[in-house]
Amino acid sequence: MQHPKKIISIVGARPQFIKAAVVSRALQQSGEAAQEKIIHTGQHFDDNMSAVFFKELDIPEPHFHLGVGGGTHGQNTGRMLESIEEVLLQEKPSMVLVYGDTNSTLAGALAASKLHIPLAHVEAGLRSFNKKMPEEINRILTDHAADILFTPTDTATHNALAEGIATEKIQQVGDVMYDAALYYAGKATHHEGILQRLSLRSGTFMLVTLHRAEMVDHRHRLQQVLNAVAQSGMPVVLPMHPRTKKRLQEFDTVIPKNILIIEPLGYLDITVLVQHAAVVATDSGGLQKEACFHKTPCITLRDETEWVELCECGANILTGADEGRIAAAIQQSLTTGEAVFNKPLYGNGDAGELIAAAILR
């Protein structure tokens, strides 16, 4: 009898929990062919940034919780690397699976490659071409360490090939976040009470998320964004990332009256808000796509995006932190036609199954 293939999946931040839910479900459906164990680095450690995701997305509880979080980039990555290596030496997996572009991703990639354990990277090939972003460094290093690169789009595949990564290492599978959007859309309807709790009417409010260092660590940029979204005249819902909350307090930032600050939300609550918002404004990578999946126009509060196809089709507008550009983009977004969302950019909703099959091969 053939022994099951032992997979170690490494996660640490909320977008990775969503992606891992898709692949874990596909691996479970393979029956006894795979045995997956999950390492949670603790990069996102608050209950409403972590535990709620495991509960509502039916992700198996992590087998290892490293409790690393709250330090600098160097401290976190170093501590994670040390702790992950210890687990890998103990477990001796057939493969390590990492997701996205966080410090948890890079630490997992380094640990696996130094121990000569095959490494697979989900959401490979993305590039913003801005090396001041720590995520960009994490992506590049992880892709070049990986044995299998699971790319989500044509652009991502092209980026990997352009950097000299061997064609046979690259498998374009589509986007696991699209799988998640399709799978959890029905479950999200049971969370529509959040609209009533926040006194919101469908199609009349804006959802805003802010968390990146290059945005929230700068007093002037942060204030400009808040002023710009407030100019829309719509109710603005801002789920508060811990980093953003800390900066708003440090800067003694003026919060316009039509901005409603709330605690971080679980995936299903956020999905409901994305589905019903008139427009989404974000510095997140994942939320840009989720808005497109749910046919909601998006404004990206950054100077570049990894998801260039969203801008090319008209679903997304890049503004940076410029108050005038943001205000103009909001008005433009409100006239976006539904046709821009109909082009299949991110696969067929079967990325999880394709990844699981490739791993088991």
For residue range 56-98, what is the model confidence (pLDDT) as tens digits?
A: 787 778 899 999 877 888 999 999 999 999 999 999 999 999 9
Average pLDDT, the chain: 92
Contact 291, 297 (CB under 8 A): yes
Three-class secondary structure of residue 346 per DSSP: coil
Contact 11, 20 (CB under 8 A): yes
pLDDT > 90 in the chain, percent: 74
Please give the structure tokens belonging to residue 17. Answer: 């929990």
Task: Encode pLDDT of 328-339 as tens digits.
Answer: 999 999 999 989
DSSP string of 32-61?
Answer: GGEEEEEEE--SS-SGGGTHHHHHHTTPPP
Task: Encode pLDDT of 212-271 as tens digits.
Answer: 888 888 899 999 999 999 999 899 999 998 888 899 899 888 899 999 999 988 889 999
Q: Which of 100, 101, 104 is nearest to 84 (CA)?
A: 104
Alpha helices in the chain (DSSP H): 14-28, 51-56, 73-91, 103-114, 134-145, 154-162, 176-188, 193-197, 213-216, 219-230, 242-251, 267-276, 286-293, 308-313, 323-333, 351-360
Please give the structure tokens belonging to residue 241. Answer: 């990332």
pLDDT surpassing 60 at residue 47: no
Active site residue ranges = 211
pTM of the model: 0.89
Backbone angles phi, psi at 211, to 5 degrees: -155, -15
Task: Encode pLDDT of 114-169 as tens digits.
Answer: 999 999 999 999 999 999 889 999 999 999 999 999 999 999 999 999 999 999 99
pLDDT at site 1: 45
Three-class secondary structure of residue 347 per DSSP: coil
Roughly what angle, to the nearest 10 degrees, separates helices 267-276 and 176-188?
A: 90
Contact 215, 301 (CB under 8 A): yes
Q: Residue 10 forms beta bridges with which residues?
A: 39, 98
Q: Which domains, and CATH codes, for the chain?
A: 5-175+347-360 (3.40.50.2000), 185-341 (3.40.50.2000)
